[in-house]
Amino acid sequence: MRTKRVLVLLLVAVMMAAVFAGCNTKQQPTKPAEKPVEKIKIGLVTDVGGRGDMSFNDSALRGLEEWAAKKKYIGNGQYRTLTDEEYKATIPDDLADRDIHPLNVEPVVLESKEKKDYTPNITTLVEQEHCKLVIGVGFMLADAIGTAAKKYPDTKFMLIDSTPTVNGKSATNLPNEVSYLFREQQGGFLAGAAAGYATKTNKIGYIGGMKIPPVLRYEAGFEAGVKTTNPNAKVISVYTGKFNEPALGVDTAESEINQGCDVLFHAAGATGNGMFQVICQKGAPYWGIGVDVDMGINPKLCPDRTLTCAIKHVDYATYLAIKSVVDGTFKPGIITMGIKDGGVGYAPDHIKDVLTPDQIKKINHLQQMIINGEIQVPEDPEKVDSWTPPSNF
């Protein structure tokens, strides 16, 4: 009888424990499913050089697509995500310590085939795509960006290589627009210093696109660099008036080589690709110098005969503007980037194959002198003749 009572008590205890366990299970709150963080749309409008210019536009696209969005464009408006290893490989050595990392953004890119495309493209990015930031690549978008920034005060805008205008008049006080400019003369100076050492004929060619401030600054700095390392050399400068016609680059390069130039530097966008075409066909002893990006690693140009490149990190400036929007630290105004800020520099390419260790050391010393403010590189080609180069390097 006693055993039976014990069994009954045990059964009651088990049932009560089960009931309480069930109650405890029901009392545990269910965690709501976490919503994915919505990506911030960033829009970019190219100038007429477009995607594939292997220069200015491609650099801006790298800053948006590869660095900010961690994506590789594969055509027809489609992307694939970069692996961590691929992502790391896109960042050049001179920016390795700049904390470049993926941001939570979605790129929306519209190419401009003609100047009349700028405003409609910007309007689409604002009104239809609802981009938080709209980037205009190049000085030719100055009026389109300025007008749009005034019309759409709730959208932020970035202009590369120029400051905004409205109906042709300066509009630099817009509260939702930032302009990134560069000290191209500093990068041009280092490339010119290398060219001065490399030339055997003492004749060096410069091929410009249009006579706009950035291209003129490249020319001034390049001529000053040549003057510093080789005062006996002469720079023959020619402007093609175009940024997107490689055939003009071919003709101009042929002409300068026929005049005795053995080192040629271009700041002419896709037009300059024609210069590399000529350099590749002729081979030694001719050397080409690229612009804006490291063209010496591009197999479609002429890597075997690229001495160096005057680097302008449009990619990094683009990335910084996007990051400011993502971080909520966006500030309007004008930001000018030089060597010290990671904005400009020069690429190694074939420097070590052509210059002596002592010459390379001197160029690096000149670079440090610019950072220290000991050298003020001229910005105007017309002032290079009266400019006194440093003698203590």
d(CA 344, CA 27): 62
CA 234 to chain centroid: 31
Sign of CA dihedral 143, 148, 151, 157: negative
Query: What CATH class does 40-182 carry?
Result: alpha beta
What pLDDT is stored for residue 171 in this prediction?
94
What pLDDT is stored for residue 244 in this prediction?
85
Q: Encode pLDDT of 303-318 as tens digits.
A: 999 999 999 999 999 9
What pLDDT is stored for residue 325 in this prediction?
98
The predicted model scores a pTM of 0.86
* pLDDT(142) > 60: yes
What pLDDT is stored for residue 48 in this prediction?
86
**Looking at residues 146-174, what average pLDDT do you find?**
96
CATH number of 184-312+356-383: 3.40.50.2300
**Looking at residues 121-150, what average pLDDT do you find?**
97
CA 319 vs CA 17, 104, 338: distances in Å = 60, 12, 16
What pLDDT is stored for residue 56 in this prediction?
85
Q: Encode pLDDT of 55-101 as tens digits.
A: 889 999 999 999 999 999 999 989 999 999 999 999 999 999 999 99
Residue extent(s) of CATH 3.40.50.2300 domains in the chain: 40-182, 184-312+356-383
Q: Encode pLDDT of 320-374 as tens digits.
A: 999 999 999 999 999 999 999 999 999 999 999 999 999 999 999 999 999 999 9
CB-based contact 378:221 (threshold 8 Å): yes
Alpha-carbon torsion, ordered 372, 378, 384, 390, to 10 deg: 0
Q: Encode pLDDT of 103-119 as tens digits.
A: 999 999 999 999 999 99
